[in-house]
Amino acid sequence: MRGIRSIEQGAERTQREMDIRTDLRRWDNDFPELHHELIVRWIAGVVVSVAITSVYNALKPQPQRTRKY
């Protein structure tokens, strides 16, 4: 029984993947100027940019404040 359930789960996963690929292909055909891979790259670029900027600002030496009397 376990083997049959494992095969069923594998088939379901494969079908879900095919459905996702079909939806992405349809999106690419309907909106060629907004290709799904381009959107993913834009989002990844923004995330990496924010992360690198945050790390840089955290590691950058802070200027010494001098007191004025």
How many structural domains compose the chain? 1
Query: What is the average pLDDT across 7-34?
Result: 91
User: What is the model's pTM?
Assistant: 0.53
In a domain, 35, yes or no: yes
In a domain, 33, yes or no: yes
Coil vs helix vs strand at 35: coil
pLDDT classification of 68: cutoffs 50, 70, 90? low
Tell me how far apart the alpha carbons of residues 66 and 69 are, in angstroms, rounded to a whole number: 10
Tell me how far apart the alpha carbons of residues 35 and 8 are, in angstroms, rounded to a whole number: 33
Tell me how far apart the alpha carbons of residues 47 and 56 are, in angstroms, rounded to a whole number: 14
In a domain, 67, yes or no: no
pLDDT above 70 covers what percent of the chain?
94
**How high is the mean pLDDT of the chain?**
89
Residue partners of 35: CB distance under 8 A and separation at least 6: 28
